[in-house]
Amino acid sequence: MRTGYFILAFLAFLVFLAPATRAADEKAQDAAYWRSEGDKSVQSREYDKAIECYKKSHAIDPLYARTVFRIAHVYNAERKFEQAQPYLDKALELVKSGKDTSRLPISDIYAEKGYILLLSGKYRDALPLYDLAIEGDPKWSYPVFWKAYAYFKLNDYGKALELCDKVLQMEPNHKDARKLKGMIEQQQSAPPSSPKK
């Protein structure tokens, strides 16, 4: 008789659990749908629409750090750096706290923060962020290249050249690194000029 009650209780539990599970699955699907729509809008350069879609996705699934990272990325594409920062900070908070459900690499966030500083002309300020990005993913050439670029803009051609060589060891056909290396070598062979401010 007790076995019958146990089975009945277990079946009742499953009946109540199924709608909750289905609702969670639908919620995740809705968030994924809006992320996908945002991605499509980015590809067609409809940035306002992309941000709207990503914000809908984030409202449904607030622990998915890649969504807020994508919002920041769109603001960066529009050169709205001040609007991007809070979203990068939110993504960083989610990743550092271990709450991120998207497994966004922390190095991606640091690299994006560094890129904002580069585009804002704050080359020296970008360097520590690229160090953190490189530390997080030492095999990723992206932050190494942009760190080289920052040193180039700071007229530190020795460090810039060293980092370009490192990028080319990682990716021998990296066109931007080859181009930057050529610019550095050209600067090194040119007669000295007045330093940049």
Alpha helices in the chain (DSSP H): 2-43, 47-60, 65-77, 81-97, 106-119, 123-136, 141-153, 157-170, 175-189
Q: Say what the pLDDT of residue 20 is.
A: 47
Q: Say what the pLDDT of residue 29 is.
A: 77
Question: pTM for the whole thing?
Answer: 0.79
Block means of pLDDT (10 residues each) for the chain, length 197 residues? 52 51 56 96 97 96 97 95 96 97 97 95 98 96 98 97 97 96 88 56
Q: Say what the pLDDT of residue 197 is.
A: 47
Domains of the chain in sequence order: 25-104 (1.25.40.10), 121-190 (1.25.40.10)
